[in-house]
Structure 1
Amino acid sequence: MLTGLPRTIRRHELRLIVPLADSTIYGMEKRGEFPRRFNLTPRCVVWDLEEVEAWLEQRRQTYLAGRAKVAPGPDVRHRKARPVKAQEADI
């Protein structure tokens, strides 16, 4: 195996490493929140594996430090099927 050389990954390999939708990754790239893809040929798009691994590690450290944005859970009181009724303490 070659060592010390930059390694690129294609889309199917990226999906195995980063389980996000293509549209999510594309949007994050446009906002500068994810490593940018580049074309090797007009039909071959790749990412730098080292950049992707560094991004993952940075995200992990942000989460462990408690600085990650986490989406709130759904408000189950607004469900159409089996809504949870407000209790006296919630009112």
Structure 2
Amino acid sequence: MRQQVEPTMKRTIRRHQLREMVPLADTTIYDMEQRGEFPQRFYLTSRCVVWDLTEVEAWLEERRRASRAKAVKRAPIPDVQLRKTRPIKHPARA
């Protein structure tokens, strides 16, 4: 008896669904795509842009593992002493 293999269905997501999954700005996602750090979008039609759901989920899982392993480089803490506008007031000098 032959065993039937079900074809795997590729699911795609549109921009609004991607925003629900990945809380990054459109420009950030675009920049990351250009650098090869995020799954590439593709066009179904001239007006319909989609991402492969499996690729996006794999990217999220990779980021989760990197974060847990402390491999994600974090932004430095800003030095508020160097601000040009709204400098902090020192309590001793006020």
TM-score bracket, shorter-length normalisation:
0.7 to 0.9
Of 39, 45, 57, the residue aligned with 2:61 is: 57
Alignment of 1:81 with 2:81, yes or no, is no
Moved more, 43-52 or 75-84: 75-84
Structure 2: which 5+ runs fail to align?
1-6
* RMSD across aligned positions (CA): 1.7
CA distance in 1, matches of 2:89, 2:74: 23
Query: What do residues 40-88 of structure 1 show as CA deviations (whole Å, max 9, x unaligned)?
Result: 0111000001100000110110111011010011112123325265xxx
Of 49, 72, 78, the residue aligned with 2:76 is: 72
TM-score (normalizing by structure 2): 0.81
Query: Moved runs in structure 1, 4+ residues, more than 3 A?
Result: none
Structure 1: which 5+ runs fail to align?
86-91
Aligned pair count? 83
Alignment of 1:13 with 2:12, yes or no, is no
Greater Cα radius of gyration, structure 1 or 2:
2
Change (3 A) 1:84 1:64: farther
- Cα deviation, residue 21, structure 1: 0.7
